[in-house]
Amino acid sequence: MNRYLKMTKGLTLLASLGLCNAALAAKEKPAAATVTNAPAPVFAPVALDHPLAAIWNDPVFARQLLGSYGFAAEVEPRLTAEEQQFWRDKVVPLLRGDANKALAELLPRVKPDASALFDFTVGNLYFQAEDTTNAVKFFEQATAKHPSFRRAWKQWGLALVRDGQFELAIAPLARSLALGDVDGKAYGLLAFANLSAGKHVSAEAAYRQAILLEPDNADFKLGLVKALVAQANYDGALALLDELLRLQPDKEALWTIQANVFLQQNQPARAAVNFEVLRRLDKITADQLATLGDIYMTQEARDLALEAYLAAMEKDGGQKPGRALRAADILVQRGAHAEARALFAKIRATTGAGALPEAEEMRLLKLEARTAMATGAGAEAIQVLERIITRNPLDGEALLLAGDYYARSGDVERAEFRFNAAAKLEQYAPDAYVKQAQLLVRGAKYAQAVEVLKKAQRAKPRDNVQRYLERVEQLARGRS
């Protein structure tokens, strides 16, 4: 159930007052809607940054939702004289005191030939009790009995929205609009349902109508931004975001969405500016800090990247070591070895000794070994690698790294041993074959190297390996 759309227990009494006046007004066709003096209903407020906050937190909308503003005879069902008396004498007193008893009193009166107002009221009582299944059932019954029952169509749609059934909510919400429930909030609800159902073109159209009727509603404009982004209309989304940011420069959702649009448009530098604004607002997330670090790495700003990666770890207290290891991997691949060592130290300090899961501990050890080898600390690296292999003899990456170390050190026998072990692992066999061939080429064993490279190409065809194979074949022919 959608947690953002909860009602308070004040719904029942207010519904009864609105319906009672509506029913009595329907005895004769009125010239205009009759306004009641029912107090405004109180709803549990939703979060201010929720897409429906502008609607659900509006007390005027809350009163309209329950029909407290009166009755329009052309779209509301009537009550017979007997039904009016039952309503006044039995239902209204119970609605003022005990909603459960009111429901028990009403349910037997919900019959095919009874007024649709009874079905509608039962639906509202179930809606209040958060039983959306039965609420939907009785709202649907009310519309079947009285097809122009505008409030029933709207409540039906709202119950479905509240229950997260956005696709099903679209038709009843659209029908309530067709019956004359035309205002910005009605269009906003329809737009939200379409957006949530993935119908982005329809959502855009509905949001534009909502904005036309409520031009100052920032939440509707934000919804339109989301619909435009979903259609890859980034220019339109950015123009609207610029307008919204001028009005609400401290709203983090706007900076976040705009940053994501910049990334979609391959404008990482502009996205970085947005993330820095979020950092200064103290509203940036750990994931956003990690993304900021990635952006700085693409710009070769290693110190800024490291700062962002470290800040991400501080932000989440080291709860996501996998993300930190991914950042460390990027640093190692880009040759930022000093920065990588700093991040290794932070990971160790944050997670504590022995706190990393086995797989992530092995990953960190291999990153440390790669960095050690790249910075001339091969003796340190091989100790780590051999320790990894002892713990897991099938760790193909460690086998290949150890083989590389031994090959560079001139220990061909040990290098062959490690490469042969890696070649038995399907995932690592193609690379292991290439490394075996390189050892053979160093020993001027070109014909054997050719055969091994062909095995590598059969396992995983690659252009660079093919070019290497052709050069080795030339060497082999030159020796024959």
Give the tens place of pLDDT for each residue, 190-238.
999 999 999 999 999 999 999 999 999 999 999 999 999 999 999 999 9
pLDDT, residue 77, reads 87
Q: Are the C-beta atoms of 350 and 344 separated by less than 8 Å?
A: no
Residue 443 lies in a domain: yes
Kindly report the three-state secondary structure assignment for every residue of 400-430: HHHHHHHHHCCCHHHHHHHHHHHHCCCCCHH
Residue 169 lies in a domain: yes
Q: How far is residue 448's CA from residue 467's CA, in Å, rounded to a whole number?
A: 17
Residue 52 lies in a domain: yes
pTM attached to this predicted model: 0.72
pLDDT, residue 71, reads 47
Cβ-Cβ contacts under 8 Å for 294 (sequence gap 6 or more): 305, 327, 330
Residue 365 lies in a domain: no
pLDDT along the chain (480 residues), means of 10: 35 35 36 32 55 65 49 71 88 82 89 92 89 94 93 93 93 94 90 95 96 93 95 95 94 95 96 96 96 96 96 89 94 95 92 78 92 90 92 94 93 95 96 96 94 96 96 86
Q: How far is residue 97's CA from residue 12's CA, in Å, rounded to a whole number?
A: 9
Cβ-Cβ contacts under 8 Å for 231 (sequence gap 6 or more): 200, 201, 204
Q: Are the C-beta atoms of 264 and 234 separated by less than 8 Å?
A: yes
**Amino acid occupying residue 154:** K
Task: Kindly state the DSSP code that residue 320 receives in the 8-state scheme.
Answer: -
Q: Are the C-beta atoms of 291 and 275 separated by less than 8 Å?
A: yes
66-103 tens-digit pLDDT: 543 334 556 688 888 998 889 888 888 887 778 788 88
Residue 462 lies in a domain: yes
CA 9 to chain centre: 31
Cβ-Cβ contacts under 8 Å for 51 (sequence gap 6 or more): 192, 195, 219, 222, 223
**Amino acid occupying residue 74:** E
pLDDT, residue 27, reads 36
Token pair listed for 233: 């209309």
Q: At residue 282, what are phi and psi to the nearest 5 degrees? A: 60, 40
pLDDT, residue 68, reads 35
Domain that holds residue 147: 1-181
Return the CATH number at 96: 1.25.40.10
pLDDT, residue 76, reads 80
Q: Are the C-beta atoms of 61 and 12 separated by less than 8 Å?
A: no
Cβ-Cβ contacts under 8 Å for 165 (sequence gap 6 or more): none
Residue 65 lies in a domain: yes
Residue 271 lies in a domain: no
Bridge partner list, 7:
43
**Residue whose C-alpha is closest to residue 175's, from 159, 209, 152, 192:** 152
pLDDT, residue 181, reads 86
Residue 16 lies in a domain: yes
**Amino acid occupying residue 243:** E
Q: Are the C-beta atoms of 314 and 277 separated by less than 8 Å?
A: no
Last residue of a domain, one of 181, 204, 236: 181
Mean pLDDT, the chain, whole residue set: 85
Last residue of a domain, one of 130, 156, 181: 181
Indicate the number of domains in the chain.
Answer: 2
